[in-house]
Every structure is written in structure tokens, then in C-alpha cells.
Amino acid sequence: MVCIGSRRGASLARVVPLVLFCLALCATAGHGFDYTYEDDFSTDQAMTDSHDHSVFVTSIPDPWPLTGFLIYEHDVPGDRALAFYNGTLHDSDARLVYAMPLESVGQLVSSGSLEFDIVWEISQDMGLVRVWTASLGLIGVGGNEGHYVFDVSPTQPVEQLLIIIKAHYVRIDNLLVNLEYSTPVESSTWSTIKGIFRSETGPA
């Protein structure tokens, strides 16, 4: 048992706040790397940025295809959105898949969110959006017009986060992905903490 009134106890009382402060700095450093991806669908970047996707077409196909497809359409004049249509087969929603971040940055993704707007239900009461991640499975469903936010945080840190959007008879806009990285505390940091502890709690 350490007596707080002793010299060693006083040293411990001084060093504990210092160690906690160092750990807080480590936590800040480990979670201070943010990655943001945005697409308002004003360009064709979803075609190249997505990890996988249904076929993009420029107009409604005739005859109607068996599988889902994607079209850039105008929600209002001058404001382009991405429309999802399903095919005639069962469970043939159009899909848009992202692996985030787009390029490895040497960090692990610890948490993330996906946001977008459903700007129009192409067919009233029939529009549906479902969102999956590789680690969590189905995490959310949307259908009515409005702004949607989904927590896509992995169950454990990963190099890339796979986000899958499947939908039919809706247009989405203003897609936003936010990621937070985590990094292990470096050995040099632990050495610094040990050095502080030894200097403050040396022989009585």
C-alpha cells in the first residue's frame, strides 16, 4: 500500500496526471486523420470511383432489362442526381459499391458514416434504398424523400470499408462519406511514458 503522504506517494500523485495527458494525446493523434469523399453527381465520377456498380445507361432501355441499371437524371433543371432502377428479375436492384478510402493511406478505418439525399421517388410508395457494409450486413433502409445518415463503422479496424448501396425507383444526390482512422500507439510513446514514470517514482 502506498501512503499518499510519503515521498513515493507524492511522486505518483504527480506522474499519474502526466501519464493520462500523454495517453490523451495519443488518442487524439490516433483519431485525428479524417477522410471525406463527396459526390453531387454533377460529373460521372461514380463510374470510376465506385468499386463495383450496375451498368450506367443514358436513357431507359427498351425492352426493360433483366438486371438493375443506373442513370444520371435531372431532379430539377440543372441539378443532376443518380437514379436507380431495378430489372425484371427477382431482387435485381441497381447497386453502387464503394471501397473507402479510394486508395490505401496506410491507416485503418475505425469509424465512418454515409450520407445522401433521396431527392425523388420515381414511383410513389415503391422507392427503396438499402445500405450494407461487408462487416455489418444490412444496416439501414430508406425510401421517402429526405436526408439520410448511416453509421458504417466496421466491427474492427479495416484498411478499406466496403459500402454497398442497392436501390430501385429513387434518385439520390449529395453523397458524402466520412471516415476516421485509428493508429496503434507507437513504441516510442510508451518509452516516453515509462521514462516519466521512472523519473518521478525513483528510489525513495
Residue ranges covered by each domain of the chain: 1-32+190-204, 34-180
Q: Any residues with CB less than 8 A from the CB of 139 and at least 6 apart, and which?
A: 131, 132, 133, 150, 151, 152
Residue whose grid cell is 444526390: 173
The answer to whether 131 and 152 are in contact (CB under 8 A) is yes
Would you tell me how many other CB atoms lie within 10 Å of the CB of residue 77?
6
The residue type found at 73 is E
Model pLDDT for residues 103-121, shown as the tens digit of each residue: 988 899 999 999 999 998 7
Q: Alpha-carbon torsion 147, 150, 151, 156, what sign?
A: negative
Higher pLDDT, 181 or 2: 181
Share of the chain above pLDDT 90, in %: 58
Would you tell me how many other CB atoms lie within 10 Å of the CB of residue 130?
17
Where residue 122 falls among pLDDT bands split at 50, 70, 90?
A: confident
Residue 191 DSSP code: H
Cα 106 from Cα 83, distance rounded (Å): 34
Q: Range with the lowest mean pLDDT among 38-47, 83-92, 193-202?
A: 193-202
Between helices 187-200 and 7-30, what is the axis angle to 10°?
160
Higher pLDDT, 22 or 81: 81
Give the per-residue pLDDT at 135. Answer: 85
* C-alpha pair distances (Å), 78 with each of 73, 74, 121, 167: 10, 7, 18, 23
The residue type found at 148 is Y
Residue 47 has pLDDT above 70, yes or no: yes
Give the cell for residue 56: 450506367
Higher pLDDT, 121 or 9: 121
Model pLDDT for residues 49-87, shown as the tens digit of each residue: 999 999 999 999 999 999 999 999 986 666 899 999 999
Give the cell for residue 130: 438499402
**With left for phi above 0 and alpha for psi between -120 and 50, is residue 78 left, alpha or beta?**
left
To the question of domain 34-180 being in CATH 2.60.120.200, the answer is: yes
Q: Which of 176, 119, 161 is nearest to 142 (CA)?
A: 119
For the chain, what is the mean pLDDT?
81
Would you tell me how many other CB atoms lie within 10 Å of the CB of residue 111?
16
Average pLDDT over residues 117-139: 86
Helix (H) / strand (E) element for 17: namely: helix 7-30
For the chain, the first-to-last Cα distance in angstroms comes to 14
CA 95 to chain centre: 17
